[in-house]
Structure 1
Amino acid sequence: MERCPACTSARSAWPECGGPCLAGPAPERPGRCVMLRGRRRVGKSRLVERFAERSGAPFLFYAATGASPRDDLARLARDAQASTLPLAGLVAAARPESWDAAFDVLAAALPADRASVLVIDEVPYLMDTDGAFEGMLQRAWDRVLETKPVLLVLIGSDLSMMEALNSYGRPFHQRGREMVLGPLNPAEVGQMLGLDPAEAFDAALVTGGLPLICAEWPRGAGLWDFLGEALSDPVSALLVSAERSLAAEFPPQAQARKVLAAIGSGERTFTNIARAASGIGATPLQRALELLTDKRIVAAELPVSLRPSKDRRYRVTDPYLRFWLHLLGPSMEEIERGRGDLTLARIRESWTSWCGRAVEPLVREALARILPDAGLPAAPAVGGYWTRTNDVEIDIVGADRAPIAKELLFVGSIKWLEQSPFDRHDLAALHRQRAALTGEPVPVMAVSRSGVDCPGLDAAYGPGDLLTAWPL
């Protein structure tokens, strides 16, 4: 659970903690720093700004733009003028031309006799390859900022760069507390929207747990009612959030964006992605895939088995972005001219097959969280297994480690159909696939949206069982 960066109040109470926590500990160095990361549109900036507003402490909220250093420093002066720091005019009057000078004048503007909050949003935009900004930040923190009763909050959406900011060997190493703000999990989505367990998973796949999109979902409304309403509004959060995130991450002509679109369309192998991305060459494709995986936008996965494999497959990590790339993005022109009904009809036609594949990562995560139980042991690794030709494909493989396991703990199948339970035909297919993976009689299990209609399983789970993985 996310906590207040100063007093560790629970996330739900963070904006209401009232601010006494900002008094700071040791008087000689009362400053504290928090490095908050999380993917775009998850609500980081809004959460921190509301906390600062409700704390009662004077604060400055600055958001980098990714433009030139001169433009970013000019933006700092403008944001300072709009802040509640009592000496904010110093920043605007000084017009600093470097971050060294900017930190000096910021330190002078921070009160020494009361707590204050200084927020720098989109920090990765300011980080350069030679580490100059990080070095200036470290010097300013060590020499001046930490001696003031200030809470410095550094926010960033580029997960790998924010992790690098606090990594060993970097100038700002161990000078702040790392925090991660994730999207709403399926249980939180279900509670917020008043949905039953199966519908909660549907909503989590469509919204990705992004608060802005969930806020547009009428409480108690079904999936198709929500989609019908959202697709009739070209500026709904469901439609615009992905495009804004992509625009912030990649220019339209970027190779990585073309590759991401190919993966989002359903292609999972290197060869098929290259074909779908207009025949992009092997070297630029490899670079693009490395960039996407480094940014945690794409996951590169290997089958879990007792033998090594090179059959790597790629998927978009964010369920909402995956939904948008496959089912919404290609239809934006149609939606903008008022024909969202056509888009909705196509989503209905492909929903079962798309949802059955998209729900797999959530199911695996849930199992990793809830095991062990009466039926299955704890599994340090929960993945899947496939062959290059897909003649064998096992939805769930639990093992002692991944991707090359020493011991397989169980195998399982996911059947996510609304009207069809897991039956004896599905069980027979699972036994055949297990035999292709291992000769050992490892336990077999099933995850079914509509229940189980056969004996012979060591364990079975439905949507309600899976939701217990995320206690509220």
Structure 2
Amino acid sequence: MVDFVGRRDELATLERELQKIASGVGGERPGRCVMLRGRRRVGKSRLVERFAERSGVPFLFYAATGASPEADLIRLARDAQASNLPLAHLMSAAQPRNWDAAFDVLAAALPSDQPSVVVIDEVPYLMDADGAFEGMLQRAWDRALQAKPVLLILIGSDLSMMEALNSYGRPFHQRGREMVLGPLNPAEVGRMLDLEPAEAFDAALVTGGLPLICADWPRGAGLWDFLDEALNDPVSPLLVSAERSLAAESPPNAQPRSVLSAIGSGERTFTNIARAAGGIGGTSLQRSLETLLVKRVVAAELPLSTRPSKERRYRVTDSYLRFWLHLVGPFIEEIERGRGDLTLARIRENWTSWRGRAIEPVIREALARTLPDDKLPEAPAMGGYWTRSNNVEIDIVGADRAPIAEELRFVGSIKWLEQSPFDQHDLVALHRHRAALTDEPVPVVAVTRSGADCSGVDAVYGPADLLNAWPL
């Protein structure tokens, strides 16, 4: 069973919602709704199952399939019959043929004298273009469900659709509390796997903090031991999780998939992505990028400075998916024929350069969570800076706002190597790039895996300092 390291806050939030319902039993409208969203395989369903099991109240867990409305309603009746709702038999006896009727029967099956929990998983599968399901859900909630002491939990992996469910102008607007479940953070990964801070960051990058992959990582094992084992198991979560997520979110031959693969391979600019994706035209590429941006699979970033820039760069948001697209996915056939050793050798060869780029957004997030401290001021905006030719590139820029800042707070360099500390040469380069960005003597920061052996740096952060950004 996957360890629930780091999920205490989320469990506590759901327990508070249930307690509010228990306190209002017998009132006019005691029901409450939570809309839980998060990327696939971060453990949303398992979290809610654990909560429902711990709660001790009657609960129904229903997972939509999206096969057809008829199949989903049959599944609902079957899941209701298997639940411990006192009147669950009403659903199977009624055999509702539409969601209006299904919600009416569900309301009748819920107890009135004690709290209960109803979970609808994969809600986006039920949502249609004309909003019919949302309208039926809204009517049922307003008319019957909210009158019962029930905690209704709506779960979805399509982030944009789940956000739309509660957006202004949609039928279910403001009827539920939004809750986001992210992957395990580096500190949680380190605790779960019993790793030192530097190794915890490596594990977080490769697994993306996905609990299923972390659970497959032997406790205390190093990165290369884990990869050696995973790459020799064709059904290991490291190998199959990405493909399953991609298949669920888009057809495998869709154009956005080609664009995603190009970005995952390391291409970051519009022109290079177009070339790597097979010469996709400007308008078609733009549409594909917009699709990926809306789904939050890809992020678009601009240089952070006091001057406007159009030098947009793209990256895959999930570090596990980025790792898979670049270093695993293209070589699945090699692994399936028993040559995971070749894949592992290739990962070793490319590891330092891949990790150096992949760690940047994680370090920026850690600093954003840490500051202000006794060395640096608060920086509401955290990013990087680059020019088209990359002759000036700064890993960390802290500022008052983004993407066009009024005030720069500090600049920094990341050197994430095992045997090479941040040295005088790195400091000179950082000063030179700072001068190209601003005339102000803003503080300079070194973020380093192996310490610093030079003076003149205003702040130095190592793996242990950064890991403290996520208190356990």
Report the TM-score range of the alignment, normalised by the length of the smaller protein: over 0.9
Q: Where does residue 231 of structure 1 map in the other structure?
A: 231
Note if contact 2:86-2:109 (Cα within 8 Å) is conserved in structure 1.
Answer: yes
AA partner of residue 443 (structure 1): P
Note if contact 1:24-1:31 (Cα within 8 Å) is conserved in structure 2.
Answer: no
Note if contact 1:35-1:153 (Cα within 8 Å) is conserved in structure 2.
Answer: yes
User: C-alpha distance in 2, partners of 1:311/1:284?
Assistant: 20
Alpha-carbon shift at residue 387 of structure 1 (Å)? 0.8
Alpha-carbon shift at residue 176 of structure 1 (Å)? 1.2
Q: Where does residue 25 of structure 1 map in the other structure?
A: 24
Note if contact 2:25-2:149 (Cα within 8 Å) is conserved in structure 1.
Answer: no
User: C-alpha distance in 1, partners of 2:173/2:129?
Assistant: 16
1:177-196 matched pairs, under 5 angstroms = 177-196=177-196
Note if contact 1:213-1:238 (Cα within 8 Å) is conserved in structure 2.
Answer: yes
User: C-alpha distance in 2, partners of 1:420/1:84?
Assistant: 59
Note if contact 1:30-1:149 (Cα within 8 Å) is conserved in structure 2.
Answer: yes
Q: Which moved more, 1:462-471 or 1:87-96?
A: 87-96
Q: Where does residue 275 of structure 2 map in the other structure?
A: 275
Q: Where does residue 13 of structure 1 map in the other structure?
A: none
TM normalised by structure 1 equals: 0.95
Q: Where does residue 12 of structure 1 map in the other structure?
A: none
AA partner of residue 36 (structure 2): L
Note if contact 1:208-1:318 (Cα within 8 Å) is conserved in structure 2.
Answer: yes
Q: Where does residue 127 of structure 1 map in the other structure?
A: 127
Alpha-carbon shift at residue 406 of structure 1 (Å)? 0.7
1:435-450 matched pairs, under 5 angstroms = 435-450=435-450
User: C-alpha distance in 2, partners of 1:224/1:463?
Assistant: 19
Q: Tell me the SS of whatever aligns to 1:411.
A: strand
Q: Where does residue 83 of structure 2 map in the other structure?
A: 83
Any idea what the Cα deviations from partners look like across 1:100-135, whole Å, max 9, x if unmatched?
111111112222233221110011111122222111
Q: Where does residue 415 of structure 1 map in the other structure?
A: 415
TM normalised by structure 2 equals: 0.95
User: C-alpha distance in 2, partners of 1:143/1:320?
Assistant: 44
Q: Tell me the SS of whatever aligns to 2:50.
A: helix
In the alignment, structure 1 residue 243 sits paired with structure 2 residue 251: no
Q: Tell me the SS of whatever aligns to 2:296.
A: coil
Alpha-carbon shift at residue 155 of structure 1 (Å)? 0.4
Q: Which moved more, 1:61-70 or 1:149-158?
A: 61-70
- Considering only aligned residues, what root-mean-square deviation do their CA atoms show, in Å? 1.5
User: C-alpha distance in 2, partners of 1:424/1:179?
Assistant: 46
1:379-458 matched pairs, under 5 angstroms = 379-458=379-458
Q: Tell me the SS of whatever aligns to 1:251.
A: coil
After TM superposition, where is structure 1 displaced by more than 6 Å over at least 4 residues in a row?
none
In the alignment, structure 1 residue 306 sits paired with structure 2 residue 306: yes
Q: Which moved more, 1:260-269 or 1:109-118?
A: 109-118
User: C-alpha distance in 2, partners of 1:420/1:358?
Assistant: 18
Any idea what the Cα deviations from partners look like across 1:227-286, whole Å, max 9, x if unmatched?
111111111111111111111101111111111111101010111111111111211211
Note if contact 1:6-1:21 (Cα within 8 Å) is conserved in structure 2.
Answer: no
User: C-alpha distance in 1, partners of 2:94/2:184?
Assistant: 42
Count of residue correspondences: 463
Alpha-carbon shift at residue 217 of structure 1 (Å)? 1.0
Any idea what the Cα deviations from partners look like across 1:174-195, whole Å, max 9, x if unmatched?
2111111111111111111111
Alpha-carbon shift at residue 5 of structure 1 (Å)? 4.7
Structure 2: runs of 5 or more not aligned: 1-8
1:73-222 matched pairs, under 5 angstroms = 73-222=73-222
Q: Tell me the SS of whatever aligns to 2:372.
A: coil
Alpha-carbon shift at residue 6 of structure 1 (Å)? 4.4
Q: Which moved more, 1:45-54 or 1:179-188?
A: 45-54
Q: Tell me the SS of whatever aligns to 2:384.
A: strand
